[in-house]
Amino acid sequence: MSLFMTLSLPNGQTIPNRIGKAAMEENMADADHGPSAELLELYRAWAQGGTGLIITGNVMVDARAMTGAAGVVLEDDRLLDRFRAWAGIARSGGGKVWMQINHPGRQMPAGMGQETLAPSAIALDLGAQSRQFPMPREMTEAEIDEVAQRFVTTAVLAERAGFHGVEVHAAHGYLLSQFLSPLSNRRTDRWGGSLENRARLLVEIVRGVRAAVGADFAVAVKLNSADFQRGGFSPEDARAVVEMLAPLGVDLVELSGGSYEAPAMMGAARDERTLAREAYFLEFAREIAEVAPMPLMVTGGIRRRSVAEEVVESGVAMAGIATALAIEPNLPNKWRAGADDAPALKPITWKNKPVASAAHMAAVRYQLERLGRRRRTSPNVSPVWALIVSQRHLRRATRAYREWMSKRAVAAGV
């Protein structure tokens, strides 16, 4: 199996190679929370870099529920021309482009000034950083139904804009992941308790999206292989959820892991056996592949060609890469030409894992912003400096977001 073999999906869509650009937290929206000019330039770099599949960063299904203050939102067709431009640029290199669609649930910063909803009224436990996230309110049945419809609406709009597919984000501790985890979902109704009930919202969303889009439009799911918290979502749960997704027309499942509380997706997994290799979640993917009829993609720290090759040779269909492509968007072309580039940021060994995770994300964003301005990346940036720059940007973006939401409320007569 070669990294540069094509991959045919269950719906007939063909991905030109086995390298996937995994989603990253870009936070590069324009003033209307559509894709900015800088975001389009960033995707131009990836499109020209030879990546077979480009999965966008979070696109939010509800402007009231954001993972970041400068996030992109797609909830109606008012800005659809900008999304068409984004899709066109991302497709320009011949790869496929899927929009990742998401709702943060309780993982929305308190500074955003919005009510936080979750499966249950259970706050994030981040130690000293816990106060940055408010106590969520338990969602009503009507709110759960509304969220499900919002995912479907955003998927339909993504298809109209020219994206090749969507990826439903059910990992990393966001809303759908919160429903899946018995630690954050303590409901006693049909949305909680058994795994079948906890997976109900994800299953209904996937079923609704698949029914609303064309047969050749890809529907994928990002799922935690584990959330690395005692008593939480386990590899056995992940296997069972993949089996639930099997008859629903899912074209690919991307396996990752962790959450804000246990940021394994940043290489800080509590299960140390997964840190022996760059592909943190590969061993879990091998186990889940036994029951998965659809292709799998494994994401988590891959930066060397030999590791990416190990992933696909193991029977996993695709190697998902994030940070390395933020540093070197031309990495697939370099690997195809025989180079062994292995881009990496400065290591962060801080004991406070949530802060270390924030610094890692800040260092990644620093690279993305430089690419969006057509500048060379700076992988040796100090994590402290990147975090300072990120916090400045966050404060400005948060003020702008709150003003934008206030204007929306006035316009709606609220």
257: domain CATH number? Answer: 3.20.20.70
From residue 391, give the alpha-carbon distance in Å to each of 71, 72, 363, 397.
15, 19, 12, 10
**If you average pLDDT over every residue of the chain, what do you get?**
91
For the chain, how many residues are written?
414
> What's the CA angle centered on 286, arms 280 and 291, to 5 degrees?
135
Question: How many structural domains comprise the chain?
Answer: 1
Q: How many beta carbons lie within 10 A of that of residue 193, not counting itself?
A: 14
Output the pLDDT for position 258.
58
Q: Is residue 93 part of a domain?
A: yes
Interval 355-360 mean pLDDT: 87
Domain that holds residue 29: 7-344
Q: Is residue 281 part of a domain?
A: yes
Choice among 63-77, 300-314, 360-374 with the minimum mean pLDDT:
300-314
From residue 56, give the alpha-carbon distance in Å to each of 47, 98, 231, 372.
12, 6, 31, 14
Output the pLDDT for position 412.
81
- pLDDT per residue over 60-87, tens digit each? 999 999 999 999 999 999 999 999 999 9
Output the pLDDT for position 160.
98
% of the chain at pLDDT higher than 70: 92
If one compares 1 and 335, the residue with the highest pLDDT of the two is: 335
Task: Look at residue 196 and tell me whether its pLDDT is greater than 80.
Answer: yes
Q: Is residue 393 part of a domain?
A: no
Interval 97-115 mean pLDDT: 96
Amino acid at 148: A
Output the pLDDT for position 317.
95
Task: Look at residue 43 and tell me whether its pLDDT is greater than 80.
Answer: yes
Choice among 99-113, 124-138, 187-201 with the minimum mean pLDDT:
124-138
Which token pair is 220?
């994928």
Q: How many beta carbons lie within 10 A of that of residue 335, not counting itself?
A: 22
Instruction: Find residue 35's DSSP bridge partners.
Output: 29
Output the pLDDT for position 399.
97
- pLDDT per residue over 126-184, tens digit each? 777 778 899 999 999 999 999 999 999 999 999 999 999 999 999 989 999 999 999 99
Query: Which helix (DSSP H) or strand (DSSP E) does residue 220 occupy?
Result: strand 218-224
Q: Which of 366, 330, 329 is nearest to 345 (CA)?
A: 366
Output the pLDDT for position 127.
76
Task: Look at residue 217 and tell me whether its pLDDT is greater than 90.
Answer: yes
Q: What share of the chain is helix, strand, coil (3-state, %, to 5)?
A: 40, 15, 45
Interval 84-97 mean pLDDT: 98
Q: Is residue 33 part of a domain?
A: yes
The CA distance from 348 to 183, in Å, is: 28
The CA distance from 107 to 365, in Å, is: 19
What global pTM score does this model have? 0.93
Output the pLDDT for position 357.
82
Cα-Cα-Cα-Cα dihedral sign, residues 153, 257, 357, 318: negative
Output the pLDDT for position 276.
41
Task: Look at residue 240 and tell me whether its pLDDT is greater than 70.
Answer: yes
- pLDDT per residue over 259-271, tens digit each? 565 554 444 333 3
Output the pLDDT for position 287.
81
Q: Is residue 16 part of a domain?
A: yes
Which token pair is 113?
């000034």
Output the pLDDT for position 266.
45
The position carrying tokens 């109209």 is: 160
Q: Is residue 158 part of a domain?
A: yes
Task: Look at residue 283 and tell me whether its pLDDT is greater than 90.
Answer: no
Interval 103-111 mean pLDDT: 95
**Residue 363: exposed, middle, or buried by beta-carbon count in 10 A (0-12, 13-18, 19+)?**
buried
Output the pLDDT for position 264.
46
CB 355 within 8 A of CB 56: no
| Strand duo 296-299 + 318-321: pairing | parallel
Q: Is residue 88 part of a domain?
A: yes
% of the chain at pLDDT higher than 90: 77
Output the pLDDT for position 231.
63
Q: Is residue 288 part of a domain?
A: yes
Alpha helices, DSSP H, located in 168-222: 175-180, 195-198, 200-212
